[in-house]
Amino acid sequence: MIGIEHFLYVEDIEILVYIFTVISGAIFIYGLYRSYRRWFRKGEKPSFDNFWTRLYNLVKYGLLQRKVVYRPFEGSMHLLIYIGFIILFIGTLIRAFEADITLKFLGYRVVSGSSYLIYKLFLNIGGLLAIIGIIIAFIRRIFLKSENLPDTLSDYLLLLLLLIILITGFVLDGISTLAYRYEWVNNYDFIGLYIADLFKNVENIEIIYRVTWLIHMALAIFSVGFIPYTKLYHIIVGGILNTFFSRNYHPAAFKKIENIDEIIEKGETPGALTLNDLSWKERMDYDACIKCARCTDNCPAASSGKPLSPMDLMLKMRSFIDQGIYNKELIPDYLDKDIIWSCVTCGACVYQCPLLIHHVETILDFRRGLIGKGENVPEELLEVSYNLMRYGNPMGNDPINREEFIKELVDEGLVEIAEEGSEYDYIYWIGCQSTYDPADKEIARSLLKILKKAGLKIAVLPEENCCGEPARRIGDELMFSELVKMNGEILSKYKFKRLVVNCPHGYNIFKHEYPLYGVKIEVIHHTQLLNELIRKGLVKLDGGKIDKKITYHDPCYLGRWNNIFDEPRNILKEVVKNEYLVEMRHNRERSFCCGGGGGHLFFDIKIGERISKIRMNEALETGASILAVACPYCKIMLHSEAGEKIKVMDISEILAEALTEKK
């Protein structure tokens, strides 16, 4: 008979398997119940809407681990262990199913003959992959740790536990082979055969088998039972739950605050001060973290020595749940306010997290809570809030300056002021920085020059408020909702196909956040539009090449959050020779923030290095003499670090210059 000999040498203690399984199962189920209690505090229910999208996310990010492999080395290590154990787990299930059900009640074998041989081969391969993976994991822990990877004894013990389960498994396999399949199993059991040879002349093989079996069986069964209490819980909370229940809105839309007026009427504040104020999904996030530190390794705040480490924040939040302090205000007694204010909302953590944790959402919720209370908020940001309320822009510029600037642009024949009733292809939303900041004004002027040359019918609005992005990022949700209402009303007065913005922050908020609040606008970033015009031949550049080395800085809100990487580069390819276009150390999805996001254009956490300086050094490393940007925030931040060697220019400025040179 070619098949499994169940309970070889251990038939008399078979019952232990069932006893252990029941105990372990109970421990496991209690662990899940405990988690349910941790997450669902106020009678919330898990959401199953958009079921198929959720399932898709589970398959893509959980089963297929799309993000785990972002880091090839660690990703491969994980994949080896993951695939190995999946195979072994399925193999064990088949074995149990055959022994306890089909064979017992139907006298039928699930695997026999050739299917058994293939089954055996798979288990050999699975075990081998897992062992290789674990050896790599040890090597990584000892020699190749990433900067912020937590490294405790328990991390090693867990690897050791898995390794013992695997090795004892192979020992059992080898002795079984010796006992009944040595002659016929061939290389389908290549490891088993090898081990069988080792045991050929060993005495008391039955006792060795029984002891090994007990160890293997008990460790395997209980390590499953204890999953909810160890780091292995990431399999369930991270891989399965957090992917399935992941947010079904764009990650750069951030959480919608429902019924803000009602909240204020009740005398409450939007956002969070306590654990209970956060959503169940946010609490699930904290339990999902596997401490891989990819977030912190990529966080500009952490890299520059600020108090924020996204991973540590998640773990701290988890420890607050452990301590059961659901109703205490966490800042400043448990959590340093600077942790919350250090974030530039660049999204590197969210992008990197293999388990779809949204760190920034928690940070923004705390900011809303703090702004609501008006305490533990940097004074400069209270000023931003106040300026928005009073002047309609975060810097506190007199709106009359806008009128003057618009008049200049109109007088130069670059643009007209939109009129109600007229139809426009494009309305250009200039945005606060490009309206008021002396350096950023040139972005607006250059852009309009190019658009005029391309023959576009374009207008600017007679009035324009802040789009609300700074308000939302610093947690002033009420101000934001007011601005959405006002701007929605203004925009609804005019007929246009698309709204052009040159600020990625505005782009993001119009594209992802306004729709949550009922304002839907077709918005396009100027790099997209310029690229489109070049492709259509409306902007012609033949011969107009700039003879300087250029490197391009991906703005977080254009690149990583919105996947616009190629359009700006395509434009640059038109104005410089390919060999002059160089990339920085961090580029595209892994771009490094200029330091100006999340309200940081308006204030500074004076701890550690300046993020803008780190980024500027990366630009200087390339030897480029022009640092191209596509965001007025980036321009201000990087320009202030530029010095003599490098010039910071928006893509529209570079393109406008190339067009003039052509003449």
Partner 1 sequence: MDIGVLVKASLDGNMIRADPDGRINIENTPLLISEYDRNAVVEAARIKSEVGGKIYVYTLLTWGPTKKKKKELENVVREALALGGDEAYAVVDDRVIPCDVTSTAYILSNLIKKFGNPELILAGEASMDMLSSQMPIRLARHLGYNVVTFARKIELSDNKIRVTRDLEDKLEVVETSLPAVISVTGEINRPKLPTLLQIRKAFAKPFKVVGLDELELEDTGRKISYSDLRLITITRKNVIIEADKLEDIADILIDKLIEEGVVRV
Between residues 269 and 502, which has the closer beta carbon with respect to partner 1? 269
Between residues 453 and 485, which has the closer beta carbon with respect to partner 1? 485
Kindly tell me the burial class for residue 339, based on how many C-beta atoms sit within 10 Å of its own C-beta (0-12, 13-18, 19 or more): buried
Between residues 20 and 603, which has the closer beta carbon with respect to partner 1? 603
CB of 501 to partner 1, least distance (A): 24
Q: Which residues pair with 649 in a beta bridge?
A: 628
CB of 472 to partner 1, least distance (A): 13
Between residues 407 and 662, which has the closer beta carbon with respect to partner 1? 407
192 and 185 Cβ atoms separated by less than 8 Å? yes
Between residues 74 and 476, which has the closer beta carbon with respect to partner 1? 476
Between residues 336 and 383, which has the closer beta carbon with respect to partner 1? 383
CB of 643 to partner 1, least distance (A): 13
Between residues 299 and 474, which has the closer beta carbon with respect to partner 1? 474
CB of 88 to partner 1, least distance (A): 55
What residues contact 140, with CB distance under 8 A and at least 6 apart?
Answer: 73, 74, 77
User: Using CA atoms, how far apart are residues 209 and 441, in angstroms rounded to an integer?
Assistant: 79
CB of 292 to partner 1, least distance (A): 37
Kindly tell me the burial class for residue 547, based on how many C-beta atoms sit within 10 Å of its own C-beta (0-12, 13-18, 19 or more): exposed
Between residues 363 and 371, which has the closer beta carbon with respect to partner 1? 371
Tell me the three-class secondary structure of 351-417, residue by residue.
Answer: HHCCCCCCHHHHHHHHHHHHHHHCCCCCHHHHHHHHHHHHHCCCCCCCCHHHHHHHHHHHHCCCCEE
User: Using CA atoms, how far apart are residues 481 and 355, in angstroms rounded to an integer?
Assistant: 31
CB of 411 to partner 1, least distance (A): 18
Between residues 243 and 385, which has the closer beta carbon with respect to partner 1? 385
Phi, psi of 648 (to 5 degrees): -95, 120
CB of 499 to partner 1, least distance (A): 25
Between residues 484 and 523, which has the closer beta carbon with respect to partner 1? 484
CB of 393 to partner 1, least distance (A): 12
What radius of gyration, in Å, describes the C-alpha atoms of the chain?
30
User: Using CA atoms, how far apart are residues 182 and 159, in angstroms rounded to an integer?
Assistant: 31
CB count, 10 Å around CB of 55?
13
User: Using CA atoms, how far apart are residues 314 and 296, in angstroms rounded to an integer?
Assistant: 11
CB of 444 to partner 1, least distance (A): 23
Q: Which residues pair with 416 in a beta bridge?
A: 459
Between residues 2 and 389, which has the closer beta carbon with respect to partner 1? 389
Between residues 305 and 374, which has the closer beta carbon with respect to partner 1? 374
Phi, psi of 649 (to 5 degrees): -135, 140
CB of 396 to partner 1, least distance (A): 7
User: Using CA atoms, how far apart are residues 39 and 278, in angstroms rounded to an integer?
Assistant: 10
Phi, psi of 246 (to 5 degrees): -60, 155
CB of 258 to partner 1, least distance (A): 16
Between residues 150 and 396, which has the closer beta carbon with respect to partner 1? 396
CB of 606 to partner 1, least distance (A): 13
Long-range (24+ apart) CB contacts under 8 A made by 234-241 are: 234/288, 234/289, 234/290, 234/355, 236/32, 237/35, 237/284, 237/287, 237/288, 238/62, 238/288, 238/289, 238/290, 238/354, 238/355, 239/62, 239/63, 239/65, 239/355, 240/58, 240/62, 241/284, 241/288
CB of 313 to partner 1, least distance (A): 24
Q: Residues in the chain, how many? A: 663
CB of 436 to partner 1, least distance (A): 13
Q: Where are the beta strands (DSSP E) in 102-194?
A: none
Q: Which residues bind partner 1 (CB under 8 A)?
A: 264, 267, 269-270, 371-372, 374, 377, 379, 382-383, 385-386, 388-391, 396, 398-400, 476-479, 482
CB count, 10 Å around CB of 150?
15
| Closest to 648 in 3D by CA, of 636, 639, 658 | 639
User: Using CA atoms, how far apart are residues 377 and 384, in angstroms rounded to an integer?
Assistant: 11
- Which tokens in the block code for residue 331? 């800042």
What letter would DSSP give residue 647?
Answer: E
What's the half-sphere exposure (Cβ side, CA atoms, 13 Å) at 55?
Answer: 4
Q: What one-letter code names the amino acid at 460? A: V
Between residues 3 and 271, which has the closer beta carbon with respect to partner 1? 271
User: Using CA atoms, how far apart are residues 23 and 225, in angstroms rounded to an integer?
Assistant: 8
Whose tokens are 């900011």? That residue is: 367
CB of 482 to partner 1, least distance (A): 7
CB of 478 to partner 1, least distance (A): 5
Between residues 388 and 575, which has the closer beta carbon with respect to partner 1? 388
385 and 479 Cβ atoms separated by less than 8 Å? yes
User: Using CA atoms, how far apart are residues 555 and 393, in angstroms rounded to an integer?
Assistant: 21
300 and 586 Cβ atoms separated by less than 8 Å? no
Between residues 133 and 372, which has the closer beta carbon with respect to partner 1? 372
Tell me if residue 477 falls in helix, strand or coil.
Answer: helix
